[in-house]
Amino acid sequence: MQVIEKAVEILQLMSQHPEEKFWRVTDVSKGLDMNVSTTHRLMQSLKNSGIINQDEETKKYSLGINFIYYGDMVREMNLPGIIIYPLMEKLYEEFGETVFVTIKDQDNCVVIERINSYHQLRFVKRIGETYKLHEAPCGKVILAYLTEELFNRLLERIIKNDSCDTKKLKNELNNIRENGYLIESIPSMDSTIFSAPVFSTEGNFIASLSIVIPKCRLTDELSCKIVRVLKDIVEGFMVEQ
């Protein structure tokens, strides 16, 4: 099992840094704090499976065609992303900013679909990006609609593994349920994220729909319009299960 986990860590490292097209074994080893010989052995196994490629001249590695193939297969099976895509298009066409859909994945939320902004100054989202549920706006929207039993179990793990102001978090989740959306400023990105829940016709939570905007383009008037349009879009569209 450890071998599989380490191999997955290698693929995650390579996929989370698309600006790095080619990787030396030492780069991966350093990035993961993994023994060089172990890293080399695992990367050779991934190469033999066609998951990653190795340039014959430079000996550097890159993601292989099978990685793309499996990714496309998963994307085709991504029913929530496919069904919710029209909502993303409406939001994108209205504002031209980056929009994305996230769903719960264990204690995290993962981006399953996105449309990136056409602006030169923009925030690019990648399918497969993950965030801790209690730290990201899109994740907090997911937390707000978990069953009480599931939320309490997850909260225990959060308290055990991370520092978290549980009182503040619970207040945020109550506000999400009352307002039907969340606005959160992200200082590290100098941006603001707006997130709202998407429900099935039975009232079951499906995913969170979000839009991210640089603060330099955000005004009070635009903020109010985004909230209004975002709520209208999600409230006027329910996914049949």
Of 22, 43, 72, which marks where a domain is finished?
A: 72
- Report whether pLDDT(107) > 90: no
The residue that leads in pLDDT, 173 or 82, is 173
The residue that leads in pLDDT, 21 or 33, is 33
What pLDDT does 139 receive?
93
Q: Any residues with CB less than 8 A from the CB of 22 and at least 6 apart, and which?
A: 55, 58, 60, 61, 62
The model's pLDDT over 38-88, given as tens digits with 9 standing for 90+, comes to: 999 999 988 888 888 888 889 898 887 666 556 555 555 455 556 778 888
What are the start-end ranges of the H helices in 145-219?
Answer: 148-161, 166-179
Residue 241 within a domain: no
What pLDDT does 197 receive?
94
| Residue/partner pairs of 215-221 with CB below 8 Å, 24 or more apart | 215/185, 215/190, 215/191, 216/121, 216/190, 217/97, 217/119, 217/121, 218/192
- Report whether pLDDT(230) > 90: yes
The model's pLDDT over 129-143, given as tens digits with 9 standing for 90+, comes to: 888 888 899 999 999
How many domains, in total, are found in the chain?
Answer: 2
Please state, as a whole number, how many other Cβ atoms lie within 10 Å of the Cβ of residue 68: 11
Of 48, 72, 96, which marks where a domain is finished?
A: 72
What pLDDT does 238 receive?
59
41 and 117: one domain?
no
| Of 233, 217, 13, nearest in space to 98 by CA | 217
Q: Is the pTM of this model over 0.75?
A: no
142 and 185: one domain?
yes
46 and 128: one domain?
no
105 and 52: one domain?
no
What pLDDT does 240 receive?
47
Of 55, 72, 89, which marks where a domain is finished?
A: 72
| Of 134, 150, 114, 221, nearest in space to 182 by CA | 134
* H or E element at residue 8: helix 2-15
Structure confidence at residue 4 as a pLDDT band (50, 70, 90):
confident
Share of the chain above pLDDT 70, in %: 90
